[in-house]
Amino acid sequence: MSYADAAGTIVAQILALPEFVRVQALFPDAGLDEAMLLDIIGAAGDLAEGVIEPFNAQADQVGCRLEQGRVRLAPGHHDAWQAFVAGGWTTIEGAPQWGGAGLPMLVHSACEELLNRASPAFGMLPTPMRCATKVIERYADPALCAEWAPRLIDGSWAATICISEPDAGSDVPRLRTAAVPHADGTWRITGEKIWISFGDHDLTPRIAHMVLARTPEGAHGPAGLSLFLVPSDIAGQRNAVVVRRIEEKLGLHGSPTCALGFEAATGHLIGTPGRGLAQLFTMIIGMRLSVGSQGAGLAGAAASLAWRYAAERRQGGRADAPPVTIDRHGDVQRMLLGLAARAEVTRGLVLTAAALSDLQAREEDEAARTEAGLVLAWLLPITKNFAAEAASLCANDAIQVLGGAGYTREWPAERYLRDARVLAIYEGTSGMQALDLALRRVLGDEGRAYRAFLAKARGDADRLGNATLGALLDMLEQAASGLDKPTATVVAYPFLQLASLATTGWIAARLAALSGSRVHDHLAALGRHWLLLARAQALAEAALTSHGQALVAAFGEVDRGYLG
């Protein structure tokens, strides 16, 4: 499938979304009809295919390096970035008051999928820029916002998110980076931060490091953390931010992952002291949705590669006849169908979450806005993790379809797998997403997010007459009724898997109901196939969830000494 074909399928999914009509109504000036969507998303595909994908192939081989304390990017990155910025792609969903196009997140996510399909490494820079802008708009003082928001939106300056430290990765309450007030009203930030994507580069003259740090009066734990904007440069001079190293990684070679030292660097307080983590979640939520777009892009790329290769590679058949293409073999057809169905429901899941984020932000009716927010709260951990795992699973299956060729660098399948693996780690690991879903969405807040999703999905199951979706929701309800806090840490992951299958079953049921055109028939076939797979897999995940503490009963009897 070419980028143009992928863009057309994305547009077909958007137009079929039940939520899209409402998104159109809430963005009346955007002119979001089919032609406009094809123009915008098709143009994103053109840039991805013509500029970013060729850059990515070279960047993967060459990577980034550290020279005299500064990061040097892969050849071609500057040209690709200039084309990206010149095309206005940093502005898509930015606020018009700061020069943004003011388009829905739904359109942004659709374009983001194609750009990440070409290079998830390239996409590691614009995502924190976009998400940092939202935090600055919401919490920064007006002068700081007026200085940074327009330049982040137009792509002339960049941003990072700085949370993790050497002894405190996901364990945020143990962060030790310190912030001390200065007489001029600024702060001095001292500490070490790691895993910082694009922590240094020369694509832009300034970078806003969004840093979590502890103030002198800050209590222990998350309540003592505040948020600071630490510029990389001030009045043309380098701030006291030092690149300690760039990581040697399995994939995403075009994206420099930096360890940064803040040596009494000048920073500006964002928002309320002690509310840094809560404020930063505005940024984290957006970045997790972008992981969904990354996963959808890589899953789609892997599925397309496998189908294309299988239609051309000849092997097998009768010995007295020419060999047949391998897509004639039943086992290959099974893999290809699974690849395409997983990729398509991943895309549908991301687009649905994006549409709901638009409804949550724009709905005028409080009840409608609340409902959209609750269903989105259910979808976010599922979207982040399911899309991440879909990318790895699809890349792995694409390698299997290609056989030995897939294991070589002659084909991009192995790169897809290397790039995909980190998606289930950063922005919250699979285990963290599972705990979020079980403890907060089901057991916490009176289960409002879970119940909002269940009501919406039950309504669609009844409306569509889809018994398979009904069965998936039955399994989800039974498993949720048995959850409790003592066992949640043990069964949260299989419960997340079950919830993901029920949720993507909901997406698939919507697709399966489409008809009337070739693309709708295509989507319907993949929806029906995913429902078949989801129901079978859900039985296993439901059984695992029901085992509770038995899943770790043998842990104390295993002697690690015998593991070698």
Q: At what angle do helices 3-16 and 485-512 cross, to 10 degrees?
A: 100
Write down the pTM of the prediction.
Answer: 0.96
Alpha carbons 223 and 273: distance in angstroms, whole number: 9
Alpha-carbon dihedral 152, 156, 157, 159, rounded to 10 degrees: 60
- The residue among 482, 279, 498, 293 whose CA lies nearest residue 380 is 293
Residue range 211-229: mean pLDDT, rounded: 88
Domain chopping of the chain, boundaries:
3-138, 157-274, 429-554
Residues 144-197 pLDDT 10s: 999 999 999 999 999 999 999 998 888 888 999 999 999 999 999 999 999 999
Q: At what angle do helices 518-546 and 467-481 cross, to 10 degrees?
A: 30
Alpha carbons 352 and 350: distance in angstroms, whole number: 5
Helix (H, G, I), strand (E, B) or coil at 211: strand
Residues 316-358 pLDDT 10s: 988 899 999 999 999 999 999 999 999 999 999 999 999 999 9
Q: Decide if 391 contacts 123 (C-beta within 8 A).
A: no
Helix (H, G, I), strand (E, B) or coil at 158: strand
Rg, the chain, Cα only: 24
Residues 19-70 pLDDT 10s: 999 999 999 999 999 999 999 999 999 999 999 999 999 999 999 999 999 9
Q: What is the DSSP letter of 122?
A: G
- State residue 280's pLDDT score: 85
Give me the phi and psi of 67, to 5 degrees please: -130, 120
- State residue 81's pLDDT score: 98
Work out the pLDDT band at 205, boundaries 50, 70, 90: very high
- State residue 221's pLDDT score: 76
Residues 265-285 pLDDT 10s: 999 999 999 999 899 888 888
Work out the pLDDT band at 295, boundaries 50, 70, 90: very high
Cα–Cα separations (whole angstroms), residue 152 to 90, 98, 156, 207, 343: 8, 9, 6, 9, 31
- Catalytic residue positions, numbered: 427
Q: What CATH number does domain 157-274 carry, 3.30.70.20, 2.40.50.140, 2.40.110.20, 3.40.50.720? A: 2.40.110.20
**Domain with residues 3-138, CATH architecture:** Orthogonal Bundle (1.10)
Residues 6+ apart with CB under 8 A from 298: 116, 117, 120, 391, 394, 395, 416, 419, 420, 423
Across 164-287, the runs of DSSP E, i.e. the strands, are: 178-181, 187-197, 207-214, 225-231, 233-234, 237-238, 241-246, 257-270
Residues 302-319 pLDDT 10s: 999 999 999 999 999 888
Residue range 421-433: mean pLDDT, rounded: 95
Q: Decide if 32 contacts 24 (C-beta within 8 A).
A: yes
Work out the pLDDT band at 219, boundaries 50, 70, 90: confident
Helix (H, G, I), strand (E, B) or coil at 279: helix
- State residue 131's pLDDT score: 94
Q: Is the pLDDT of residue 532 over 90?
A: yes
Identical fold, 3-138 and 157-274:
no
Average pLDDT value over all residues in the chain: 96
- State residue 1's pLDDT score: 65
Half-sphere exposure (Cβ direction) of 492: Cα atoms closer than 13 Å: 24
